[in-house]
């Protein structure tokens, strides 16, 4: 008599026999709407500038960014996260281009909204690192340390000018204490209760940000370990999560994604708001480099990593492959 519940009566391979069978029983599904495209726009360039450390990614001109946004909307992804790269001569200690209504990021937000309207969520990076001459995410005090509370004042201004420019979502990425509450208040004060806040809740001081520094023309000297999280810590992320939710975060995010899937899973299990994860530049560049050498199957690796992030609990994924992956999924 055959015994079920163990071999040979039970054979899990029956559910892997054909592509249709595997598709039917798949526990995790990727969809273009899960994806968000990070994009860089650089002031003062006449054509897109390739980013050497991120093959296939560019610093856009205003015109090429509009084209990229239209392609993203047509591909069916949900959003585009914009990063502005001002001219070097405009950077200063306070990150003035970040609050200038005519700063490159605010101009780009208006451009993209004019191009795609509400067909694509226009999301804006709310941080000072791209606009300061020292490259830190905040204002420095007399000892050269990042001044948390002085930085919050700058973030409040940034939130308002980005909302005025047309951002649907602001993404404060600086990891300052209290930033979510200050930004929510600043938006509400100008009647922009409709603008959502995507909290970079768990943003780790990661080695995988390297290529991003080239992408945004970073002027950073030193590191960001006094405000970004220690890679050794998980409970600290849960504390940050509780604070962000209390302060009014509409969505929360874990960054980087791949090395922190355990953190992502814990966060996703703990909340009832949407959870995002950012597959960052170093994660992208490693796969592109290995694929270029013929060591891995590029398209399979892209979809496998995105599936893993989705399986761990991310509702949405910021990835530089967003448009390409959406086309593959279709």
Distance (Å, whole) CA 106 – CA 82: 10
Q: What's the DSSP call for residue 229?
A: B
Which parts of 197-256 fold into alpha helices (H)? 210-215, 235-247
Largest Cα separation within the chain, whole Å, is: 82
Q: Which of 66, 67, 90, 203 is catalytic?
A: 203
Residue 2, φ and ψ in degrees, nearest 5 = -75, 135
- CA-based nearest residue to 274, from 198, 219, 161: 198
Say whether 255 is catalytic.
Answer: yes
136 Cβ partners below 8 Å, 6+ apart? 128, 129, 146, 220, 222, 224
Q: Do 264 and 313 contact (CB within 8 A), yes or no?
A: yes
Mode of pairing for the β-strands spanning 79-85 and 35-42: parallel
Q: How many CB atoms lie within 10 A of CB 223?
A: 10
Q: Please give the positions annotated as active site.
A: 203, 255
């Amino acid at each position: 008599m055959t015994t079920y519940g163990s071999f040979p009566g039970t054979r899990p391979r029956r559910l892997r026999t054909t592509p249709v069978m595997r598709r039917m029983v798949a526990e995790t599904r990727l969809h273009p709407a899960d994806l968000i495209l990070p994009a860089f726009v650089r002031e003062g360039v006449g054509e897109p500038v390739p980013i050497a450390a991120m093959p296939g990614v560019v610093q856009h001109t205003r015109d090429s960014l509009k084209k990229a946004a239209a392609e993203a909307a047509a591909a069916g992804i949900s959003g585009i996260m914009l990063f502005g790269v001002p001219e070097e001569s405009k950077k200063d200690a306070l990150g003035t281009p970040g609050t200038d209504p005519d700063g490159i990021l605010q101009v780009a937000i208006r451009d993209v909204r004019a191009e795609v309207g509400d067909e694509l969520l226009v999301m804006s990076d709310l941080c000072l690192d791209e606009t300061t001459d020292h490259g830190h995410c905040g204002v420095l005090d007399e000892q050269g340390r990042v001044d948390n509370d002085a930085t919050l004042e700058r973030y409040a201004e940034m939130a308002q000018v980005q909302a005025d420019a047309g951002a649907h979502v602001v993404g404060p990425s600086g990891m300052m204490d209290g930033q979510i509450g200050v930004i929510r208040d600043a938006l509400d004060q100008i009647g922009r209760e409709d603008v959502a806040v995507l909290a970079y809740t768990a943003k780790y001081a990661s080695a995988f940000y390297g290529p991003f520094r080239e992408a945004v023309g970073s002027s950073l000297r030193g590191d960001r370990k006094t405000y970004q999280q220690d890679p050794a810590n998980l409970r600290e992320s849960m504390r940050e999560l509780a604070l962000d939710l209390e302060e009014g975060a509409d969505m929360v995010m874990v960054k980087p994604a791949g090395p922190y899937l355990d953190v992502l899973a814990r966060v996703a299990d703990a909340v009832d708001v949407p959870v995002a994860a950012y597959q960052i530049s170093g994660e992208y560049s490693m796969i592109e480099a290995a694929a270029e050498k013929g060591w891995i199957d590029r398209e399979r690796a892209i979809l496998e990593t995105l599936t893993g992030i989705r399986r761990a609990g991310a509702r949405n994924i910021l990835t530089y492959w967003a448009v390409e992956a959406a086309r593959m999924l279709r």
